[in-house]
Amino acid sequence: MSQSEPVLPESTVAQIERANASGRMPVVFIHGLWLLPSSWDRWAALFEENGYAPVLPGWPDDPETVEEAKAHPEVFANKTIGQVADHFGAVISRLTTKPAVIGHSFGGLLTNIIAGRGLAAVSVAISPAPFRGVLPLPISALRASAPVLGNPANRHRAVPLTFEQFHYAFANAVSEEEAKELYETYAVPAPGAPLFQAATANINPWTEAKVDTDSPDRGPLLIIGGERDHTVPKAISSAVYRQQKDNPGVTEFVEIPGRGHAITIDNGWREVAQTSLEFVRRFA
C-alpha cells in the first residue's frame, strides 16, 4: 500500500461525504483505460434512483472533463495498476459502509483486485482486463492493444487512440455513426503502463497485475462479457471467471449477446447496468 494517504479531488471527497451522510449503500464505479468517470454518469443516476449512493472516483490526477483530458494528455502518463488500486483502496477506506464495486475493462481488473483485498461487499467486473493466471491471448485482443504495446516507449507515455483504433477496440458492435459519437464524447488518452503490466503478468512473478482469487473475504462477484468484444473477448473474460470460480464466495458469469467493449457506454448500456444492479441487489 502507499506510504502516504493520497490527496483526493474535491469532487470525490464530496461524493464520499454525500454517500456517508445518506445512509445508503455506496456503489463505487471504476472506469478503464481511454475513459473518464463521466462515462458512468448514466449508471450513477440509475443506481441512485434504486436507492444506492454512487461514487465515481477518477484514477489519480484524472482531469474533470474530456476536453481538459485531450488538452493535457501528459497527466495520464506513468499510472501503474498498483498505484491505481491503492488509490481506490484509499477512496473506499473513507466510506463508512463497505461498498458495491463495479468496474469496466482495466476498471474490471481493479475491481477484482479490490475484491480480493476484502474491500467490496459485492462486485461486478465488466469485460475485465486479464491478470496473472489468465492465459489466453486472442488475436483481436493483441490487435486492440497494439497502439500501445507496439512501441516500448509507450510504457511511460499517455497514448490516445485514433478513431479507427477506437472503432476496432471499443465500438465494433455499433454503427459507424454511433462509434463516432462515442469517440467524440468519451475517448481520452490513457497511460501505457497498465497494458504492459497486464501483457507481462504471466512472466513476471512480482507483477502488480495479480489478484487474490482465493481470498475468503472476496464476496460475491459477477463477471460480464460482451459477445463481440475485441479487447476482452470471451476467451479472456471466461478465463477470469475460471480463475475466480473456486473462491468460497458466489461467482457468476454472464455474456451479453451482440455487444462490444463499449458495453458500458453504447446504446445498450442500460441492459448491462440493469444486470449489474440486479446482482448487487441480491447480495446487498
- pLDDT, position 4: 60
Q: What is the pTM of this model?
A: 0.97
- Rounded Cα gap, residues 232 and 195, in angstroms: 12
- pLDDT, position 284: 83
- pLDDT, position 40: 98
SS3 content of the chain, % helix, strand, coil (to 5): 45, 10, 40
- Rounded Cα gap, residues 96 and 19, in angstroms: 9
Return the CATH architecture of domain 10-283. 3-Layer(aba) Sandwich (3.40)
Describe the crossing of helices 269-283 and 41-49 by its angle, rounded to 10 degrees.
40
Query: How many percent of the chain have pLDDT more than 70?
Result: 98
User: How many angstroms separate the Cα of 87 from the Cα of each of 43, 113, 127, 152, 233?
Assistant: 22, 12, 21, 26, 28
What residues does each domain of the chain span?
A: 10-283
- pLDDT, position 1: 42
**CA 247: distance to chain centroid?**
21
Residues of the chain with pLDDT below 50 are 1-3
